[in-house]
């Protein structure tokens, strides 16, 4: 079965299943492997959750014509947010040990104590816990996330483009 010939509905439902599988693996890594997620990891999970929601809605609704681009655009917005977050995370992990920022407060405390703009600034500034590298099959977790964000964003665009062009 050629994924480049899947219908819009199948492409979006497969995208949903991939996002759900990635979120399931993230939970397994946290609770089964003991890998505590840093704030940037949590933001990447939120991006996958956002994408999963719109993959599912787009797959169930399967609108015709240009309506498909609305769902693809929302999936792509989640992918772009995830790419930015994973890219920043990889940059922090590439810093030399003497340039790594010190560990900050936990995400739960920051959510309670700071407004959203300050919270985002603190999270994207990074902390020492975000610079810790724990490879999975030779690559750090944010590198895998980055690859999946790119692949899933491309899947959404290809599904919407192919079907809108054939109408």
In this prediction, residue 20 has a pLDDT band, given cuts at 50, 70 and 90, of very high
User: Nearest 10 degrees: CA dihedral of 29, 33, 37, 42?
Assistant: 20
The CB density around residue 145, as the number of other CB atoms within 10 Å, is 26
pLDDT score recorded for residue 165: 45
Domain residues for 137? 3-166
Residues 6 or more apart whose Cβ sits within 8 Å of residue 68: 8, 58, 62, 159, 160, 163, 164
Q: Write down the mean pLDDT value for the chain.
A: 84
If one counts the domains in the chain, the total is 1
Burial class (CB in 10 A: 0-12, 13-18, 19+), 120: middle
Q: What is the CATH number of the domain that holds 94?
A: 1.20.1550.10
- Give the mean pLDDT of 36-40: 85
Percentage of residues in the chain having pLDDT higher than 70: 83
């Amino acid at each position: 079965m050629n994924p480049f010939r899947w219908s819009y509905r199948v492409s979006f439902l497969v995208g949903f299943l991939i996002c759900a599988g990635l979120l399931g693996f993230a939970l397994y890594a946290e609770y089964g492997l003991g890998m505590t997620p840093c704030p940037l990891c949590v933001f990447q999970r939120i991006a996958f959750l956002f994408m999963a929601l719109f993959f599912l809605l787009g797959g169930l609704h399967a609108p015709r014509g240009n309506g498909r681009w609305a769902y693809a655009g929302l999936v792509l917005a989640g992918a772009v947010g995830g790419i930015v977050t994973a890219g920043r995370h990889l940059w922090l992990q590439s810093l030399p040990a003497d340039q790594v920022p010190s560990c900050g407060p936990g995400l739960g405390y920051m959510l309670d104590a700071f407004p959203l703009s300050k919270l985002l600034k603190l999270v994207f500034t990074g902390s020492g816990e975000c610079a810790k590298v724990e490879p999975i099959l030779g690559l750090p977790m944010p590198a895998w996330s980055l690859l999946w964000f790119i692949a899933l964003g491309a899947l959404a665009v290809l599904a919407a483009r192919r079907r809108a062009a054939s109408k």
